[in-house]
């Protein structure tokens, strides 16, 4: 059984992989000339998908992954 910390890390890892693939796909659609209506729709969907995955990666990393690995804010000095 996985802990919440491990599950959140795997979610973050999966979103990171999706972000890299969405970036590559978005770059590929930008380099190709838009010849028709379908090409513009695909370009718009890939751009929106890239933005959604990027924001999801940032939110999961900030609110789930980083607090689990953050150092102690108030260390005890002896």
Could you read off the pLDDT tens digit of each residue along the chain, which spans 78 residues? Answer: 888 888 988 999 999 999 999 888 888 887 888 788 988 888 888 889 889 999 999 999 888 888 777 777 777 776
Can you point out the beta strands (E) in the chain?
Answer: none
Are the beta carbons of 15 and 56 closer than 8 angstroms?
yes
Residue ranges of the domains in the chain?
7-66
């Amino acid at each position: 059984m996985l802990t919440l910390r491990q599950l959140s890390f795997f979610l973050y890892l999966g979103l990171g992989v999706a972000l890299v693939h969405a970036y590559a796909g978005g770059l590929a659609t930008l380099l190709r000339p838009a010849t028709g209506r379908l090409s513009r729709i695909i370009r718009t969907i890939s751009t929106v998908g890239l933005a959604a995955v990027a924001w999801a990666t940032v939110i999961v990393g900030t609110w789930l992954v980083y607090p689990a690995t953050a150092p102690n804010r108030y260390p005890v000095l002896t």
